[in-house]
Each structure stands twice: as C-alpha cells, then as structure tokens.
C-alpha cells in the first residue's frame, strides 16, 4: 500500500472493504429489518468459531473510498450496518458522518476492543473473551449481544451486562455450531433471568446472506 493510500485509510477516508450487500438483519434487536451491510476487513480478536475468518487479514481487502461506499449504500436502504472483521480498528468518523448527511441510519456490530469512533444510531456490542472491550465502550452500547458457546459463557455474559447502562437491550445468542446443545440452555436461562432476550441467527435459517 502506498503512503497516500495508507494515510487515507488511517483517516477513515478509505476503508478495507471486504463485501457489501443488501439483506435482512438476522440477529439481535433489529432482526427482520432490511439493511445494507458493509463488512470491513481486519480483526485480531480471534474467535475460534468466527464464520468470517477471511475478514481477519485487512491486507486482503482493497482500500475503498468511503464516498463510493456511501453512494452505493444509499441506492438500497436508509439503514446501514457496519460490521467486520472488527470495524473499530479503523476510524468510523467520516463514514458515519457521510451516511447521516444522506439520512441513512448508522448501526455497528463490534467487539468493542478498539477505541470508540463514529456517530451511531444503534451500537451493538458483542464482547469476546479473547480481547475484552475497552471500558469507554460499555456506556455507548444500545444492545449487548453475548454469544453462548458453552455454559461458562453465561457467567461471562452477566459480567459484561453489569458494565452496560440500564437502557441497554440484553441478548443471548447460541453459537451456530452449538445451537442444538445450547439453545435449550439459553431458553431455560432467559426464563429464569428475563432481563435477557434470545437472539437467533435467523438469516442462516432463512438461507440468506
């Protein structure tokens, strides 16, 4: 990457774009709503069950002008979900400013492991044991989405829930490869602890991106 391009990426004027697509939000609070997804490359959180490991190496994904990304997005939806990878590895200030100037709602899905940037209409925090969120991020969360891979993850979920604000929506979501085993456990847990809700990866059941 040449020096100029690197400077543009560092400022968030360009982002390593892995993919972008119009689909139905499959998880969490906004399940069932149409949205334009922007998947940014780069992640070092390293979840062993990640289903987009090809996003981890940012160098594999071409630096793309944010202006071009926004021009495409506004043809499809008034809601954009920025995900990864780990989007907060990059400055989100420019892309969210430009999206909102075009009357597009800005949503993010993040582990919170990097410094907060951007202006968000909806901030979904999904903490991981491999790299904890920064303390500054917890107060920003509108939604806490905890992935449940085994029983110890319930304790981790409660530890994380204690750090977010009272307005934050709380979700437990079975890790896809363990869904048959963990979904009944989650159902039982939510019935005993009704501050939580269940999130499912409905897009996978519907066979859509």
Supply the pLDDT for residue 207. 86
Supply the pLDDT for residue 55. 93
57, burial (CB in 10 Å: exposed 0-12, middle 13-18, buried 19+) = middle
| Contact criterion met (CB below 8 Å) for 107 and 121 | yes
Instruction: Say if residue 205's pLDDT is above 90.
Output: no
Instruction: Say if residue 2's pLDDT is above 90.
Output: no
Supply the pLDDT for residue 184. 97
Q: What is the CA radius of gyration of the chain?
A: 17
Torsion of CA 118, 168, 78, 25, to 10 degrees: 110
Average pLDDT, the chain: 96
Q: Beta strand 34-40 with 79-83: parallel, antiparallel or unpaired?
A: parallel
Domains and CATH numbers, the chain: 3-205 (3.20.20.70)
Instruction: Say if residue 48's pLDDT is above 90.
Output: no
Supply the pLDDT for residue 129. 94
CA distance 148 to 172: 7
At how many degrees (to 10) do helices 93-101 and 66-73 cross? 40
Supply the pLDDT for residue 206. 86
Supply the pLDDT for residue 1. 74
| Contact criterion met (CB below 8 Å) for 142 and 123 | yes
CA distance 36 to 47: 24
Transcribe 27-55 into DSSP letters: SGGGTT-EEEEEEEP---S--TT-S-GGG
pLDDT digits (tens, 9 = 90+) for 83-139: 999 999 999 999 999 999 999 999 999 999 999 999 999 999 999 999 999 999 999
- Could you give the percent of the chain with pLDDT greater than 70? 100
Average pLDDT over residues 147-154: 96
Residue 88 has which token pair? 């907060």
């Amino acid at each position: 990457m040449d020096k100029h391009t690197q400077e543009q990426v560092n400022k968030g004027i360009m982002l390593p774009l892995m993919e972008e697509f119009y689909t139905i939000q499959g998880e969490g609070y906004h399940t069932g709503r149409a949205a334009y997804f922007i998947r940014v490359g780069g992640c070092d959180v390293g979840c062993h069950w990640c289903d987009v490991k090809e996003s981890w190496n940012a160098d594999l994904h071409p630096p793309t002008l944010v202006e071009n990304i926004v021009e495409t997005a506004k043809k499809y939806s008034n809601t954009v979900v920025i995900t990864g990878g780990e989007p907060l590895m990059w400055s989100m200030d420019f892309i969210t400013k430009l999206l909102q100037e075009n009357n597009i709602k800005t949503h993010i899905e993040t582990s919170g492991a990097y410094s907060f940037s951007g202006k968000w209409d909806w901030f979904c925090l999904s903490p991981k044991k491999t790299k904890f969120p920064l303390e500054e991020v917890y107060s920003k969360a509108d939604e806490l989405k905890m992935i449940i891979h085994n029983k110890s993850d319930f304790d981790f979920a409660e530890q994380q829930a204690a750090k977010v604000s009272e307005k934050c929506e709380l979700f437990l979501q079975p890790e896809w490869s363990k869904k048959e085993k963990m979904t009944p456990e989650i159902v039982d847990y939510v019935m005993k602890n009704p501050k939580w809700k269940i999130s499912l990866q409905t897009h996978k059941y519907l066979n859509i991106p």
